[in-house]
Amino acid sequence: MLNKITDHPKTSKSKIMTVLGIVLILIILGLLAYCGIISYRGVQAARQKYFQEVANLKKKDVEITIIEGWRREQIAAKLVKLDVLSSPDEFLKSTENLEGQLFPDTYRFFKNSTAQGVVDKIIKNFAKKTAGLKVDNTTLILASIIEREAAGDEERAPIAGVYKNRIDEGMKLEADPTAQYARDSQQIAARDERPFVSTFEFWAPITKAEINATDSPYNTYRYAGLPPGPVCNPGSKSIEAALNPKLGQNFYFFHDADGTIRFSRNLADHDYQKKIYGVRQ
């Protein structure tokens, strides 16, 4: 269940009380300045801050839900679409090294917010939701792959176990989400128009030809080990699975034509099951 993160009073009564509180604070600050206890410049700064708070109360806010498995460009697109931000540029600049930490949840933002204010709120929520967990970049990378692979919560820990086994054996992960991320990133960089305001399709199924043609350290079909960074922003369940994989002897998995996940210990069994059950398209 996604939790709603609010940043504004919801009733007219609370707004009135807030305004009265601000007025009282301004009066107190004025008296302190008159008595020489604080500087006039300090009073002016405080006045500006509190008048901005009053202005914020009059603004309309909007609700946005960041979906598990979105990459930051998708979040930027949603923020611009809802008029939270006028442009994605500053948001993308501010989040350049924050993929994986833009926590999926439901938030409320004022229209025409600053990009940094939006980012700060999301990152603060990430810190809150992962408090007490030993979440490092490696955890987020694995969790992001799990997020894109799993079709249900019960699949996350077993998928994490498969990837843990492959990493321990020095095998390539061969994870589709990493190749999709690499392909999409290259296509985004090559386009003149911004993908978040166009019809760009993120996470489209990837073909063998595209996998072979995509030379990127994020493409785990070509390079062993984890990719350099997260490929999306995972939710709590995927982070927990990355921290607590269900270990076993499986090294392969796929979703069959009916959407059932099937695990295998070896490549021969993996290929056999694909022939018997088909592969989800």
pLDDT, tens digit (0-9, with 9 covering 90-100), for 114-168: 999 999 999 999 999 999 999 999 999 999 999 999 999 999 999 999 999 999 9
Q: pLDDT tens, 251-266?
A: 999 999 999 999 999 9
| pLDDT of res. 9 | 40
DSSP 8-state secondary structure symbol assigned to residue 244: S
Q: What is the mean pLDDT of the chain?
A: 87
| pLDDT of res. 281 | 75
Residue 50: CB atoms within 10 Å:
18
pLDDT band at 28 (very low <50, low <70, confident <90, very high): confident
Q: Report the DSSP beta bridge partners of residue 254.
A: 262
Whether the Cβ atoms of residue 113 and residue 85 lie closer than 8 Å to each other: yes
Rounded mean pLDDT, 41-57: 63
DSSP 8-state secondary structure symbol assigned to residue 194: -
Q: Provide the pairing of β-strand 252-255 with 106-110.
A: unpaired
Task: Compute CA distances 145 → 121, 185, 207, 218, 238, whole Å.
Answer: 24, 16, 18, 11, 9
Tokens of 200: 């760009």
| Placement of tokens 């919801």 in the chain | 10
| pLDDT of res. 19 | 60
